[in-house]
Amino acid sequence: MVKIRLQRQGAKKAPFYHIVVADSRSPRDGKIIEKIGSYDPMSEPSKIVIDKEKLEQWIRNGAKPTDSVRDIVDRASK
């Protein structure tokens, strides 16, 4: 199954995340299919960048977003 999830980047205690499409069996920071955005929780306010066209395309093709990605997308659309 294909999932849309977060891939952690950044230093210790300074996280930065890429929003990626990956196989659910691959590790969190392992092989990805495509990068579709980024999330920086350390900036004020949090910086969220998402390619909405690619997100919609992957969801139409059957990819399931994780709970955290779903929350981030909801915050970005407000």
Yes or no: say if 54 and 46 are a contact pair by the CB < 8 Å rule: no
Note the pLDDT tens digit of each residue in 7-52. 999 999 999 999 999 999 988 888 999 999 999 999 999 999 999 9
In CATH, the architecture of 2-77 is 2-Layer Sandwich (3.30)
User: What pLDDT, on a 0 to 100 scale, did the predictor assign at position 77?
Assistant: 83
Report the SS3 class of residue 52.
helix
Residue at token pair 């969220």? 48
Distance, C-alpha 74 to centroid of its chain: 12
Instruction: Supply 78's token pair.
Output: 């407000």
Beta-bridge partners for 20: 5, 35
Look at residue 78 in the predicted model and tell me its pLDDT: 76
Close Cβ partners of 60 (under 8 Å, ≥ 6 residues apart): none
Ranges of each domain in the chain: 2-77
In the predicted structure, residue 54 carries a pLDDT above the cut 80:
yes
